[in-house]
Amino acid sequence: MKIGFIGLGIMGKPMSKNLVKAGYDVVVFDFNESSIKELVDAGATAASNGAEVASQCEVVITMVPNSPHVRAAVFGENGIAQGAKEGTVLIDMSSIDPVESQKIGKELEPYGIDMLDAPVSGGEPKAIDGTLSVMVGGKKELFDKYYDMLMVMAGSVVYVGELGSGNVAKLANQMVVAINIAAVSEALTFAKKAGTDPELVYQAIRGGLAGSTVMDAKAPMMLEGNYKPGFRIELHIKDLTNALNAAHAVNSPVPLTAQMMEVMQFLKAEGHEKEDHDSIVRYYEKIAGTSIVKDK
């Protein structure tokens, strides 16, 4: 199977490398030439644009920032639709608005191109390890056909439903993650203000009902003052924007998600948008007038 991969950013680069390592014939394109070179050095083949990728491959994966970038990669000049043959499958692994996923899928039908939306969760570390969580929407037979290929990049690949459902699941994930990070931040800041070591509080509660994957991933980073991005605030803002738009479209109230958007907008205004989303703790530290970072 020859696989096209468009978008070699912080996530796409390690994901495509894992496909190459697994022995797949991978054709890549990105606007960043150094990223293309890195993949070619790893064993991939370079293409000059999306149309050239699609002309060579039965399946094309896109991993780009947001809905407009997917649309440009598919329908823009020298895009996938211009080079794809009838029967080509597009697997969009970007995190975008589910309504837009459905629109793009519908617009691809006259070209004879099928589409899955398959956004991922796990950030750069899990992209590197090949242990991402993938949430897939689209035709079940296509999911079954490409399941093994997707598992090369993932620890779990779950079918959610019709096209767009993958991104609904991803937005739900991002809502839970943002609110969970905020809850951890709020609790550890409270502990510090109450005169109790927040690290010891973390150790005390992590094994109980309050414990979570988010807590174990982010609390140590907060306590170290480590905001190196695995998933940037600005990207979480993008996801919450899509979540709010999608929720409003179906009349689903999301008050906690709306509150988290305002917290993240505060962080952006403070110049922290390039930091990891664990820097949500900075909001709580600012309003509480303290810091939970451990003394060196």
Name the domain boundary from 162, 183, 210.
162
Residue 295 located in a structural domain: no
Q: Label residues 248-263 b or e (16+ Cβ within 10 Å = b).
A: eeeeeebeebeebbeb
Asked if the model's pLDDT at residue 103 lies above 90, the reply is: yes
Name the domain boundary from 162, 181, 207.
162
Asked if the model's pLDDT at residue 2 lies above 80, the reply is: yes
Q: Which residues are marked as active site?
A: 170
CB distance 67 to 164 below 8 Å? no
Residues comprising the chain, all counted: 296
CB distance 62 to 76 below 8 Å? no
Asked if the model's pLDDT at residue 101 lies above 70, the reply is: yes
Q: What is the mean pLDDT of the chain?
A: 96
pLDDT band at residue 271 using 50, 70 and 90 as cut-offs = very high
The model's pLDDT over 119-158, given as tens digits with 9 standing for 90+, comes to 999 888 899 999 999 999 999 999 999 999 999 999 999 9
Residue 64 located in a structural domain: yes
pLDDT band at residue 108 using 50, 70 and 90 as cut-offs = very high
pLDDT band at residue 296 using 50, 70 and 90 as cut-offs = low
Tokens of 185: 């931040």
Identify the domain containing residue 90 by its residue range.
Answer: 2-162
- Give the span between the Cα atoms of 143 and 138, in whole angstroms: 7
What mean pLDDT is predicted for residues 199-226? 97
Name the domain boundary from 114, 135, 162.
162
The model's pLDDT over 217-237, given as tens digits with 9 standing for 90+, comes to 999 999 999 999 888 999 999
Q: What is the percentage of the chain residues whose pLDDT exceeds 90?
A: 96
pLDDT band at residue 62 using 50, 70 and 90 as cut-offs = very high
Asked if the model's pLDDT at residue 215 lies above 80, the reply is: yes
Asked if the model's pLDDT at residue 212 lies above 70, the reply is: yes
Residue 293 located in a structural domain: no
- Give the span between the Cα atoms of 118 and 287, in whole angstroms: 38
Q: What is the percentage of the chain residues whose pLDDT exceeds 70?
A: 100
Asked if the model's pLDDT at residue 177 lies above 90, the reply is: yes
The model's pLDDT over 14-61, given as tens digits with 9 standing for 90+, comes to 999 999 999 999 999 999 999 999 999 999 999 999 999 999 999 999
- Give the span between the Cα atoms of 55 and 9, in whole angstroms: 22
Residue 294 located in a structural domain: no
CATH code for the domain in which residue 56 is found: 3.40.50.720
Question: Closest Cα partner for 54 from 72, 75, 79, 19?
Answer: 79
